[in-house]
Amino acid sequence: MSWFGLKTGKAALYETMVRAYSADMFRFAFWLCRDKSMAEDLVQETCLRAWKNWHNLNNVKATRQWLFTILRREHARLYQASKLNFIDVESEELESLLHYDDMPVVELNDGLEKLPLSYREPLLLQVLGGFSCGEIAVIVQTTEAAVMTRVSRARRMLREIMDDDEKGQEKLK
C-alpha cells in the first residue's frame, strides 16, 4: 500500500498486519457481538487505532496480541462505557464431561451464545486466537490463574448447556 505515492516501512508492515490478522480479528469480533457488520466495524476501528498508535507497539512479535487487546477494548467501549464486569470464580469443579465425540454445530453455537462474556472471551481467544493463558491474561488485563479458571469454567458450562439441550431434545422425541 502506498501513502501519497510512498510506501513506507510502517505502511508496508501495517498492510501485512491487516492482511494477516484481520480475518482472525473478525471472527473474534463476530463471536463477541454476533453481528457481521458490527464485527467488521470493530476490526476496522481496531486497525485504525493501531495505525494511529503504531509508536506504542514496542514488540513487533506481539503485534497480534496487541491487536486483540485493542479489539477487545473497542468492543468493551462499544457496549459499556466502563470496564467489563467480570464474574469472579472462586472455585472450580474439576469434573470433566468428555462425551462429545460428534459435536452438534447448532447446539455448540447456541451454547456459545449462552456463555457469559467473561467466559466466552478467554475461550474464544484460546480456541480461535491460539493464545496461551498467559497471553490472554495480558489481553484481558487479569491474572493467568483467573484466565485458567474462566476457560475451565467456560468449557464446563458449554458442555452443560449442550448436555441440557441434548436431553431436552431427547425428551421431545
Partner 1 sequence: MNCLEFQSALNADPHHLPLTARQHAEDCTQCARRMVKELNFDASLADVLQVPAPDGMEDRILLATRFNEKRRMTLYAVAASVLVVVSVMFSMPFLNGKPELDMAIEHVLAEPHHLAETRDVTPAQVNALLAQVGARSEVMLPVSYAGTCDLPNGKGGHIVLNTQHGRVTLMLMPMGKSGVVERKETNGVIAEMYAARYGNYSLIANSNAALKEARSMLASQLHWEKSKGI
Contact residues: partner 1, CB under 8 A: 1, 3-4, 14-15, 18-19, 22-23, 26-27, 30-31, 36, 40, 43-44, 47-48, 51, 92, 94-96, 98-101, 103, 105, 108-109, 112, 124, 126-128, 130, 132-133, 147-149, 151-152, 155-156, 158-159
Residue 36 or 80 having the CB closest to partner 1: 36
Give me 141's grid cell.
Answer: 488485563
Strand partners, 3: 6
d(CA 123, CA 120): 5
- Asked if 136 and 102 count as a contact pair (C-beta separation under 8 A), the reply is no
Cβ 102 to partner 1, closest distance in Å? Answer: 9
Closest by CA to 121, choosing from 79, 164, 162, 91, is 79
Residue 2 or 169 having the CB closest to partner 1: 2
Residue 23 or 80 having the CB closest to partner 1: 23
- Asked if 25 and 43 count as a contact pair (C-beta separation under 8 A), the reply is yes
Residue 124 or 140 having the CB closest to partner 1: 124
Q: Where are the alpha helices (DSSP H) in the chain?
A: 9-33, 36-52, 63-79, 105-114, 117-127, 133-139, 144-172
Residue 47 or 70 having the CB closest to partner 1: 47
Cβ 142 to partner 1, closest distance in Å? Answer: 14
Cβ 82 to partner 1, closest distance in Å? Answer: 27
Match 469480533 to its residue by C-alpha cell.
Answer: 29
Cβ 113 to partner 1, closest distance in Å? Answer: 11
Cβ 56 to partner 1, closest distance in Å? Answer: 16
d(CA 100, CA 89): 25
